[in-house]
Amino acid sequence: MVIRVVAVGFMLLAWACANAQHAGHEDAARVELAASAAFDAQGVLWVVSKSGGHVMLRRSADAGKSWSAAQAVNAVPEGIGAEGDARPKIALGTRSEVYVTWTQPLSKPYSGDIRFARSIDAGKTFSVPLTVHTDRQEITHRFDALTVTRDGKLFIAWIDKRDMIAAGKGANYQGAAVYFAVSDNRGASFGGDHKLADHSCECCRIAMLPRDDGSVLALWRHVFEPNVRDHALGVMHADGRVSAVRRATFDDWAVDICPHHGPSLAADAAGRLHAVWFTQGAKRAGVFYGRLRLSGDGGVDALRRVGGEAAAHADLAVSGKRVVVVWKEYDGTRSRLRAMISDNGGDTWRERDLLATAGASDQPRALTHAGRIYAFWNTQREGFTTTVIAP
């Protein structure tokens, strides 16, 4: 009888916990919303997200109206970072390759390995995951980012603490470093590890943008002397060289803080750089859009605030002269997915409300395919949503 009473109690507990969200709480234990999405050249939308110890892959041939069954990328479960700016990433190659990265947290706090798996048969099968970097210390290798260049080379960048460890505790090495590795054989192997810059912030996503000459631009939150967490730009080359590392934003956010709120970067046909970022700097606080100058001493043009005081996690995409910024903003009841649209390269804008949800949600993403721009958003209540930004 005691067993039966306990069993009934546990069943009721399980039921009550599962229904707790109806009493004004989203069940925190079950929410795994962090997702990344990308279109391939044929217009198939691919999404990776985390489920327990697996990166799960799903695809949609109709721009998000219907989805394939979820498929595990890694057959053997392992730890997968999916909090804040951390999440699995996906990029599509030029010859039907599907590339996936994630950060595997290790046992020491803030430590991790950058993991990679590829499919060279359009997602039917995936390789056994490998660790991208040659440095195997149990330290920070986190916040993976990946992109594929026009000539098919795969660039993976991440936040790395080997230089801070090597400097020793007395050295007061600020922040971490950005490292990268390149594969010129469709992800079969990587040449690395190359350092892009010392003194990055420790916990923000890195934005990457392939360029016509085969190099890749990166935009990341940096730590400028003495502790200013504004952004830096730099160019990574396939041979491991680095060029044009410079300051990109000038907000003077002097603080030792963990924002988990990284930038995004896109280029228009004229080569102008468009960016969105978050700051609580002395000069301005909030989410901002601007065009980043590549020449001279740098600087920001067409600077503009994005949304209101609760705006967060903006992303942007560019198609021709059209620039679209998407972000989410909590209004006291619901999180709203909003968009800011410019048809003249960021000089003038109009705003639109796209969606709203009354539960937990992921960061939104702006995607492009065939000249159209889409907002992708994963919410607890609605699941994957894909909204085309109408012309």
Contact between residue 318 and residue 266 where contact means Cβ atoms under 8 Å apart: yes
Looking at residues 193 to 212 of the shown chain, list those that interact with another protein (rule: CB under 8 A): 202-203
Interface segment toward another protein; rule CB under 8 A; list 37-45, 186-194, 254-262, 317-325: 254-262
Residue carrying the six token digits 């048809």: 343
List the one residue from 59, 194, 222, 261 that touches another protein (CB under 8 A). 261
Closest to 305 (Cα-Cα) out of 325, 289, 329, 323: 289
Counting contacts by CB under 8 A, is residue 158 touching another protein? no
Residue carrying the six token digits 């991208």: 132
Q: Draw the binding track, 291-320, toward another protein (x: CB under 8 A; -: no contact).
A: ------------------xx-xx-------
List the one residue from 65, 109, 225, 270 that touches another protein (CB under 8 A). 109
Say how far residue 115 (Cα) sits from the centre of its chain.
15
Counting contacts by CB under 8 A, is residue 133 touching another protein? no
**Secondary structure in 3-state letters for 93-142:** CCCCCEEEEEEEECCCCCCEEEEEEEECCCCCCCCCCEECCCCCCCCCEE
Say how far residue 133 (Cα) sits from the centre of its chain.
19
Contact between residue 382 and residue 364 where contact means Cβ atoms under 8 Å apart: no
Counting contacts by CB under 8 A, is residue 17 touching another protein? yes
Counting contacts by CB under 8 A, is residue 354 touching another protein? no
Q: How far is the CB of 206 from another protein (least distance, A)?
A: 17
Counting Cβ atoms within 10 Å, is residue 309 exposed (0-12), middle (13-18) or buried (19+)? exposed
Counting contacts by CB under 8 A, is residue 282 touching another protein? no
Counting contacts by CB under 8 A, is residue 68 touching another protein? no
Pairing of strands 300-306, 311-319: unpaired
Which backbone phi and psi does 6 adopt, to 5 degrees? Answer: -60, -40
Counting contacts by CB under 8 A, is residue 138 touching another protein? no
Q: How far is the CB of 390 from another protein (least distance, A)?
A: 27
SS3 9: helix
Counting contacts by CB under 8 A, is residue 62 touching another protein? no
**CA pseudo-torsion sign 330, 334, 335, 339:** negative
Counting contacts by CB under 8 A, is residue 285 touching another protein? yes
Looking at residues 28 to 57 of the shown chain, list those that interact with another protein (rule: CB under 8 A): 28-31
Interface segment toward another protein; rule CB under 8 A; list 6-14, 61-69, 89-97, 315-323: 6-14
Counting contacts by CB under 8 A, is residue 106 touching another protein? no
Which residues sit at the interface with another protein, rule CB under 8 A?
A: 1, 5-6, 8-9, 12-13, 16-17, 20, 24-31, 83-84, 86, 109-110, 202-203, 255-261, 278, 280, 285-286, 309-310, 312-313, 328, 330, 332, 335, 359-361, 380
